[in-house]
Amino acid sequence: MLPPAPGPVRTPVTPQPAGPRRALVAGSVGNFIEWYEFGVYGYLATVIAAHFFTPEGGSDAEGLVKTYASFALAFFFRPVGAALFGRLGDRIGRRPTLVLVICLMTGATTLIGVLPTYDSVGAAAPWLLTLLRIVQGLSAGGEFGGAVSLMTESAPPGRRGRYGAWQSFTVALGLLAGAGTTALLATVLTAPQLNGWGWRVPFLLTLPLGSVALWLRLRLDETPAFMAAARSAAAPAPAAPGEDPPGEDAPVRRPRAGETVRAVALGAGRVMGWSAAGYTFLVVLPSYLQSSLDATFQQALLATVLANLGFAASILPAGIVSDRIGRRTVMLTGALLVALLALPLLNLVQDTGASAYAKGAALFAAGAAVGLMAGPGPAMLAEMFPTRVRYTGLGLAYALSNAVFSGCAGLIITKAVAQTGDVDIPAYYAAAACAVSAAALMTLRGDDHERALR
């Protein structure tokens, strides 16, 4: 988690700055693909468990736990990817690094769609799947830091929250696309068809999506902030550490390793509630409803779609509002709402006597509360790090939080419910993470959104 080694930063080949709208689209599209795939994997967890992790005689619960273990493993490689690609992106530029990331992500996801199953190759099947999940984790770790750096560094003045919110909005779009694709297949195909070959279709669709993303990123230019940092990289640092930030082309002080490490830890704490509650309500929910509440596959997917619609509905407004009143107020509101309402909302979903409309409203509200954290979150992280280490720093903060609190969500919840029989575990998990996140968010300054990026 150290900043890039001292040395000259090579100026990117392309001399023109990135246009804000082009940067917004190119940055968002890779994130959409990433979360589409992660959503599909989560929604099809029970099917994948049967094909890859449940040998003859194994229980369904055992297979599901192993599936989520593979899910978690991919997340634990995200910090590695964030450090690896972040270092690269802070040295050679956002554009070339994001091109490499989208190629790896697209290739790994497409290959999942053609993998042989346990019935075909035996114990090699889960190992092959896990290897591809690791590649996905590495590429996903490099995606967030680069995309957010690209979008916030290219944003017009006073609009970093709005531009950064598109990163989170494409999370919602990706998850909704994954849920919609899975639900459509579950509707038009019979159960044997879905379990036999239909589950492969969503993964194979990544190939054309990734090709479009690659084309967009190849046409992208570098960000003005990185170009300015590249021009000033070899210049001496200012003597006085407390003086005002230099101008765009003035020499800048190299960030100290300790400063970066502290900022990464604090950033991870600020977004842990977003990570934990987001995955609990937006990804893990289908398998939880099926395994713990005996919901059908279609009912579980519908519930997830409603939660993701609430998530999508609040993200962009939250980012826009945070440009006016600050990141702290908006994100703190979302964290406190989840901490206080997670258990009542989940109990309403569990209530067999509650109407379908009431349950739908509860799921929508849970997703909307998470969106209040996710909207301003990317801009908040970008504002914590100087340009020289922004790709690495914000990518690591987000990846570490996701590795621990998102990647382990399915594994922790499934295992805890199975061992304790307490179906309220998801609410406890999300509420506890958001309570800690709220404390970390209190350290945010109210005027961070008004300051220029360092």
Query: Could you tell me the domains of the chain?
Result: 20-231+256-449 (1.20.1250.20)
Q: What is the pLDDT of residue 328?
A: 93
For 27-53, the pLDDT digits (tens) are 888 889 888 887 787 778 778 777 777
pTM, entire model: 0.79
Q: What is the pLDDT of residue 58?
A: 55
Please state the separation of Cα 358 from the chain's center in Å.
Answer: 29
Tell me the CA distances in angstroms from 424 to 115, 256, 311, one per residue in order.
Answer: 36, 44, 21
Q: Which of 30-34, 100-104, 210-214, 341-345 has the lowest mean pLDDT?
A: 30-34
Which residues make Cβ contacts (< 8 Å) with residue 410, sequence separation at least 6?
42, 45, 68, 71, 72, 279, 283, 284, 287
Q: How far is the C-alpha of 24 from the C-alpha of 152, rounded, in Å?
A: 9
424-428: long-range contacts at Cβ-Cβ below 8 A with a sequence spacing of 24 or more?
424/343, 424/346, 424/347, 426/280, 426/281, 426/284, 426/285, 426/288, 426/342, 426/346, 427/342, 427/343, 427/345, 427/346, 427/347, 428/342, 428/343
Inter-residue contact 334 to 275 (CB < 8 Å): no
Q: What is the pLDDT of residue 56?
A: 59
Residue 129 sits at the vertex; the CA angle it makes with 125 and 131, to the nearest 5 degrees, is 115
Which residues make Cβ contacts (< 8 Å) with residue 65, sequence separation at least 6?
411, 414, 415, 418
The DSSP symbol for 300 reads H
Which residues make Cβ contacts (< 8 Å) with residue 255, sequence separation at least 6?
3, 385, 386, 388, 389
The stretch 142-152 carries a mean pLDDT of: 90
The stretch 361-387 carries a mean pLDDT of: 92
The stretch 80-86 carries a mean pLDDT of: 92
Q: Which two tokens stand for residue 394?
A: 């914000």
For 283-309, the pLDDT digits (tens) are 777 677 776 777 777 777 788 788 889
Q: What is the pLDDT of residue 40?
A: 84
Inter-residue contact 416 to 422 (CB < 8 Å): yes
Average pLDDT value over all residues in the chain: 82
Tell me the CA distances in angstroms from 87 to 118, 170, 261, one per residue in order.
Answer: 38, 25, 14
